[in-house]
Amino acid sequence: MKKLLILGGGTGGTIMANKMRHELEREEWEITVVDKEKTHFYQPGFLFLPFGHYKKQDVVKPKNNFIPNGVNFIVQLIDRIEPENNQVVLADGVVLRYDYLIIATGTRIVPEETPGLTGPLWKKSIFDFYTPEGAIALANFFKTWQGGELVLNIADMPIKCPVAPLEFVFFADAFFVERGLRNKVNISYVTPMSGAFTKPRAAKVLGALLEEKNIHIIPDFYLERIDTEGKKLVSYDEREVPFDVLITIPVHKGDEVIESSGLGDDMGFVKADKHTLQSVDYKNVFVIGDAGNFPTSKAGSVVHFQADILTENLLCAIESRPYTASYDGHSNCYIETGFGKGALIDFNYDTEPLPGLFPLPGIGPFGLLQETRMNHYGKLLFRWIYWHILLKGKEMPIDTKMTMAGKKL
């Protein structure tokens, strides 16, 4: 039997297990997925937890529900990847050999990277919402908070879902308006980027939305440490921002196993070809999603588009044919803007987010780079699509490659 091994059973690992089980003969190929967790988290749902829109049970399901028949699922920490020997060692000492390896171990937040962040204020007046524990602790905090300086800070890029911090402050604005507290809450958006978003057209539209909602943006702020006594953010160029409650998006890294196996860059992201998705160091190793050093968003939509490309290229590799699929960096993100509205951006390695209609030119129903009710429904619907269509690797009515149709230059 030949062996396909998939490391990580999150969004990417699960989709690939479904797709490859469909493609590869059962008599010839054994497929195994390893993940340290039994539970699958719907991560985009974490954004809704602090404001009580979702409860924890809305964002979790057993991973087993999504691993198809005919695929082995092992719940265990991955300790080491040994690509020279084509094998992976688990924390309990079990050795798994492979013919092909897919790395889908995602990214993790490392708040310990910033001095003071996980000090005495952690989960008391400093919260993250990128973990379910952090998001739920914040929900409890907000229940009784009476107002003050609310600061959201992005410690560094890249981060998962680069629009989630914006959505957070839009939601916070609406949340405190609805509670009659908005005049007591000052909201600041402190970012290492030069604006609300990196790409000019989107930065302009989203920056205007921040202003309209009276959210102060403090750009080019690169966090060095937290002054825990003074309750201040301090940047490397010695600027200070005081806070009463800090919502942190901590530094992101790849999983430890990537670093210790020598497959990663200095942040532990696997070095991979941005078009073929193949590891730059090993021919039988491929990467999908947040775990890679791809210069595009770390987002579920990216994982979804990459899955089509990876399936095709993996089959090419197995059958010793030249690669026929090339990933273009396509990313597609709904942005919640509060009060039942949302925006949508669609872009790739070469084309920045542009206004227009999506996915059908002239029809939509979604509006690109504009605030509409329909976009908000798109985001809500996405949770259902995620559990029922996306993870199972089924077809979706969106092209893998970005298209210019429907976009206005």
Report the interface residues with ligand FAD, using CB under 6 A: 8-13, 34-37, 43-44, 46-47, 77-78, 104-106, 129-130, 160-161, 164, 255, 257, 289-291, 298-301, 303, 333-334
Minimum separation from the CB atom of position 199 to other proteins (A):
7
Distance, CA of 214 to CA of 187 (rounded, Å): 8
Minimum separation from the CB atom of position 409 to ligand FAD (A):
25
- Where in 112-228 does DSSP place strands (E)? 126-127, 148-154, 185-190, 215-218, 223-227
Determine what percent of the chain falls in helix, strand and coil, rounding each to the nearest 5: 30, 30, 40
β-sheet bridge partners, residue 132: none
Binding string to other proteins for residues 5 to 44, with x set by CB under 8 A, is what? ----------------------------------------
Binding string to other proteins for residues 80 to 109, with x set by CB under 8 A, is what? ------------------------------
- The candidate with the shortest Cα–Cα distance to 255, out of 114, 108, 109, is 108
The sheet with strand 78-82 has its strands ordered as 78-82, 87-90, 95-97
Minimum separation from the CB atom of position 330 to ligand FAD (A):
11
| CB nearer ligand FAD, residue 113 or residue 227 | 113
Residue 235 one-letter amino acid = S
| CB nearer other proteins, residue 96 or residue 270 | 270
Q: Rule CB under 8 A: which of 346-405 touch other proteins?
A: 347
Question: By CB under 8 A, is residue 239 in contact with other proteins?
Answer: no
Distance, CA of 204 to CA of 317 (rounded, Å): 43
The interface region with other proteins, picked from 54-62, 75-83, 86-94, 154-162 by CB under 8 A, is: 154-162
Minimum separation from the CB atom of position 236 to ligand FAD (A):
25
Distance, CA of 9 to CA of 289 (rounded, Å): 12
Two structure tokens written together for 126: 């400093």
Question: By CB under 8 A, is residue 156 in contact with other proteins?
Answer: yes
Q: How many CB atoms lie within 10 A of CB 273?
A: 17
Sort 131 into a burial class: Cβ within 10 Å, 0-12 / 13-18 / 19+.
middle
Residue among 64, 194, 214, 324 that touches other proteins (CB under 8 A) = 194
Q: Rule CB under 8 A: which of 327-346 touch other proteins?
A: 331
Minimum separation from the CB atom of position 169 to other proteins (A):
18
3-state secondary structure of 50: coil
- The candidate with the shortest Cα–Cα distance to 54, out of 386, 353, 404, is 386
Question: By CB under 8 A, is residue 158 in contact with other proteins?
Answer: yes
Q: CA 236: distance to chain centroid?
A: 26
Two structure tokens written together for 215: 């959210």
Residue among 22, 236, 240, 262 that touches other proteins (CB under 8 A) = 236
Task: Give which of other proteins, ligand FAD, none residue 158 binds (C-beta under 5 to 8 Å, depending on kind).
Answer: other proteins
Distance, CA of 178 to CA of 216 (rounded, Å): 20
Question: By CB under 8 A, is residue 198 in contact with other proteins?
Answer: yes
| CB nearer other proteins, residue 245 or residue 299 | 299
Task: Give which of ligand FAD, other proteins, none residue 327 binds (C-beta under 5 to 8 Å, depending on kind).
Answer: none
Contact present, 297 and 306 (Cβ < 8 Å): no
Sort 87 into a burial class: Cβ within 10 Å, 0-12 / 13-18 / 19+.
middle
- Where in 76-184 does DSSP place strands (E)? 78-82, 87-90, 95-97, 100-103, 107-109, 126-127, 148-154
Residue among 193, 218, 380, 396 that touches other proteins (CB under 8 A) = 193
Residue among 74, 157, 385, 396 that touches other proteins (CB under 8 A) = 157
Task: Give which of ligand FAD, other proteins, none residue 8 binds (C-beta under 5 to 8 Å, depending on kind).
Answer: ligand FAD
| CB nearer other proteins, residue 201 or residue 392 | 201
Residue among 269, 327, 358, 366 that touches other proteins (CB under 8 A) = 269
Q: Which residue has the tokens 């509670």?
A: 179
User: Where along the sequence are the contacts to other proteins (CB under 8 A)?
Assistant: 156-158, 162, 192-194, 198-199, 220, 222, 224, 236-237, 251, 265-267, 269, 271, 274, 293, 295-297, 331, 347
